[in-house]
Amino acid sequence: QVQLVESGGGLVQAGGSLTLSCTASGRTLSSYIMGWFRQAPGKEREFVATIARSGSNTAYADSVKGRFTISRDNAKNTVYLQMNSLKFEDTAVYYCAADPIERLATMPSGYPYWGQGTQVTVSS
């Protein structure tokens, strides 16, 4: 079973940038599709981005397309989320998730393994 730990969250001004990292242990990251999700207070967890095992295919939520970039370094067992042009509405706890099935799922139920999350706060 894979264990996931996110890092890189923090407080940033609107228009700024942050890069989140998610490091896997226990199993090789290359065995999994990786996804990023977020959950704001009082809202349901929502899809942000996902990336195929090789990194060749990605998918993004419309709300982040053109601003966020998901990438992975399987040699480092790490997946990244580069977030640019951050908006107040991007404020949330960000979670990485792993799926052993090659399908680029966009629903949280498609991912059996989750990290604990990292807080991103964007000040307006």
pLDDT in tens, 67-124: 999 999 999 999 999 999 999 999 999 999 999 998 888 999 999 999 999 999 999 8
- Answer whether 111's CB lies under 8 Å from 96's CB: no
CA R_g for the chain: 13
Instruction: Take residue 80 and report the two structure tokens written for it.
Output: 């990244």
Q: What integer pLDDT is reported at residue 102 of this predicted model? A: 85
pLDDT in tens, 11-64: 999 999 999 999 999 888 999 999 999 999 999 999 999 999 999 999 999 999
